[in-house]
Amino acid sequence: MSGVLDGPAGFALRKNGTCLDTEVDCGATLPPFRACCPAGSHCPSQYNVNCCPSAANCTQLLVETPKCANETWDLYNYYGYFCCENGTTAFGTSSNSDGCALPGYKFHSSETLLPLVSSGKGTWDLQT
């Protein structure tokens, strides 16, 4: 299996709004969130939206060694892995969906803060 995950590979970023021009838009998750992957990656599977280096499904390999597709993103797990930008807060809902909140977000009673699985390296300015 050597080389299967060469290139950008990992779990996608949950973004409230649109993906950046430098990202691949993998489609909508729970509105208003979209799944975004780094440029040069593919989204062949809908298992919590993966970023794979080719059109081949890399889900099993990602689940065995979970990581974000961009090393600056933070990894979370809520009925499946997903990533948030460093500096945002991950939450899960009573309907088993999830998202990433900007600082100052007022959480609803149906939303639960999620523990960090793995912290990203470095920080980036948040694009809102």
Residue 18: per-residue pLDDT = 93
Question: What pTM was estimated for this model as a whole?
Answer: 0.87
Quote the Cα angle for 111-120-24, to 5°.
80
Which residues on adjacent β-strands are paired with residue 34? 15, 28
Tens of pLDDT, residues 80-109: 999 999 999 999 999 988 999 999 999 999
Quick one: tokens of 4? 């299967």
Read off the pLDDT band of 2 (50, 70, 90): very low
Q: How distant is the alpha carbon of residue 114 from its chain centre?
A: 14
Angstrom distance (rounded) from CA 39 to CA 65? 21
- pLDDT > 90 in the chain, percent: 68
* Residue 49: Cβ within 10 Å count: 25
Gap between the Cα atoms of 22 and 20, Å rounded: 5
